[in-house]
Structure 1
Amino acid sequence: MSNLPETANQAYEAILEALNHLIEVVAKLRSPDGGCPWDLEQTPQTLIPYIIEEAYEVVYAIKSDDSQAIVEELGDLLLQVVLQAQIASDYGNFSLKEVAQGITEKLISRHPHVFGNVQVTNTEEVRQNWEQIKALEKGETPEMAELLSRKLTHYNRTLPPLMASSKISVKAAKAGFEWENVEGVWDKFSEELAEFKESLESDDKVHQTSELGDLLFTLINLARWYGLDASDALSGTNERFIQRVSKMETFANRPLSDYTLDELDTLWKQAKKHLNQ
């Protein structure tokens, strides 16, 4: 950093100071001597829901284009990274240093057109180089890296289930796993719906869950055929449901849990009508 302009050096120093302070705070929270009981009880596994939650909140803040919210939510997500590294360090596994070094080395290795002598002309060449280098790092041949199952496994491991299913559906269809027309998809949906209903007649939760998954996957394929985004569709429904419940609460004169089902239905229709105006 010594070759950078003075203002850039000052900015880096301020960033490092802030990061060091965060690391020190997290270390104090995890300290057996005066630390926080809740933080001391956490393990990498117990923190998984928080990582997912914070990642989604970052995405929501970005979509909202709210700079203050983005800063706050990125901070919450950064806390999860530092906390995971601190716990690993407490266990003697690794520290934040290895995390930072690992991603830095990966970025340099996978960008030979920036840090090496490789020449590229477009983003597609950048992507191809990235995938080839990634395969070599994992000891895979180019042929192995191109296997359909490898790509589908990557989606399933790295994306939320609904988004993963959408990606898997698209990739599988391009590889030939496709119906001749949309009527075939509807027939498959009817078949899966019947199988799911039949599974509910037993007490086998594993079988029921399997059939429900098949039904949902077919529904996602239907969405693809009609050019619809299943994740956006479900997110929109969640948002509308919450808006209607919120409006119901403004009309209600007592907690919603105190209303009968018929009364809730009346409030629901009232809220829906008001929001549609």
Structure 2
Amino acid sequence: MEFHQNQNHAETLAALQELIDVVAKLRSPEGGCPWDLAQTPQTLTPYVIEEAYEVVDAIKSGDKEAIAEELGDLLLQVVLQAQIAKEYEQFTLKEVAQGIAQKLIRRHPHVFGEVSVQSVEEVRQNWEQIKAAEKGEPSPESQKLSAKLSNYARKLPPLMATMKISQKAAAVGFEWENIDGVWDKFHEELQEFQHALAHETPAQQQAELGDLLFSVLQLARWYNLDPSEALQGTNQRFIQRLQKMEAFADRPLSDYTLQELEALWQQAKAQLKKG
């Protein structure tokens, strides 16, 4: 058994080294790929986000081949970023790997040390305490709630950031007494958005739209619903209905009137509901 484990370990390292070598060749000024050579850490950031979402989608599908492929695409982004950093003598992939390995060891003293834990919650609390200690004594400014929330707003996708921000604010008491207050806020923001559309500038309309969306996400939080999952489900249902419409249609959808499209939509919706 030990021989097979060592063999698998060696094969994994060899495969990673092959990927590193391939990426280095793509970035080589001599015979490399013009597209890869033109990339910077900044131009690659959209691909990091895109590949991460594609990994999540593959995991949801349960397709092991798709999961492996998408994880490979995401790993490529890590190796590419490290390769570019190496070229500029900033850091290497070795430092990236060593850094995360050491972080995991430090933050799991119940696995790599003598600490005992009795629950997942204790693990989480220890993680946060160790994380805070690693960053040194926090300054008064960094301890402020606004500083923590600003960090979420900068680093997370908007829907996720809003949920985090509202959860943390609620935890310190900045919260409605009951769900009725949340619904009142939603209706208030809806009226203000409608008023802005009729009387205000585009900038003010944009601001009011943001306030309305924020209030919708507060409803999601109170009802323990995931807004990202909800919106993704709606997107999928819309596409499924559109596919059915195209299946029912005998000509391009652009050739249909609005009334005819509505009829096709209802037909597709009814068909999918039966299914």
Same fold (TM over 0.5): yes
Is 1:227 paired with 2:254? no
User: 2:177, 2:118 → 1: CA distance?
Assistant: 38
Distance change (3 Å), C-alpha of 1:166 and 1:131: same
Distance change (3 Å), C-alpha of 1:170 and 1:86: same
Shift of 1:90: 2.5
Q: Deviations over 1:206-231 (max 9, x none)?
A: x3332211111111112223333222
Q: Which residue of 2 aligns with 1:189?
A: 186
Shift of 1:158: 4.3
- For the 8 Å contact 1:152–1:168, the answer to whether it is kept is yes
- The gaps in structure 2 that reach 5 residues or longer are none
Q: Which residue of 2 aligns with 1:276?
A: 273
Please give the secondary structure, in 1, of the residue aligned with 2:6.
helix
2:81 to 66, 84, 88: 84
Distance change (3 Å), C-alpha of 1:154 and 1:119: farther
Q: Deviations over 1:21-50 (max 9, x none)?
A: 111111111222222222222221222221
User: 1:123, 1:225 → 2: CA distance?
Assistant: 24
1:40 to 37, 41, 51: 37
- For the 8 Å contact 1:135–1:142, the answer to whether it is kept is no
Please give the secondary structure, in 1, of the residue aligned with 2:77.
helix
Q: Which amino acid in the other structure matches residue 109 of structure 1?
A: R
Shift of 1:77: 0.7
Is 1:19 paired with 2:16? yes
Distance change (3 Å), C-alpha of 1:140 and 1:39: same
- The two structures, once aligned, show a CA RMSD in angstroms of 2.3
| 1:226-245 paired onto structure 2 within 5 Å | 226-245=223-242
Distance change (3 Å), C-alpha of 1:226 and 1:143: same
Shift of 1:256: 2.7
- For the 8 Å contact 1:132–1:142, the answer to whether it is kept is no
1:57 to 54, 59, 64: 54
> Which stretch shifts more, 223-232 or 7-16?
223-232
Q: Tell me the matched-pair count.
A: 273
1:102 to 99, 103, 120: 99
Q: Deviations over 1:133-186 (max 9, x none)?
A: 111111234998875445534543443221221232233223211222322222
Q: Which residue of 1 aligns with 2:200?
A: 202
Distance change (3 Å), C-alpha of 1:145 and 1:109: farther
Identity of aligned residues (%): 67
User: 2:201, 2:37 → 1: CA distance?
Assistant: 40
Distance change (3 Å), C-alpha of 1:229 and 1:198: same
- For the 8 Å contact 1:85–1:96, the answer to whether it is kept is yes
Is 1:257 paired with 2:254? yes
User: 1:254, 1:90 → 2: CA distance?
Assistant: 54
Shift of 1:124: 2.2
- The gaps in structure 1 that reach 5 residues or longer are none
Please give the secondary structure, in 2, of the residue aligned with 1:177.
coil
User: 1:235, 1:114 → 2: CA distance?
Assistant: 37
Q: Which amino acid in the other structure matches residue 203 of structure 1?
A: T
Distance change (3 Å), C-alpha of 1:140 and 1:244: farther
| 1:164-183 paired onto structure 2 within 5 Å | 164-183=161-180
Q: Which residue of 2 aligns with 1:246?
A: 243
User: 1:64, 1:143 → 2: CA distance?
Assistant: 45
TM-score (norm 2): 0.89
> Which stretch shifts more, 145-154 or 30-39?
145-154
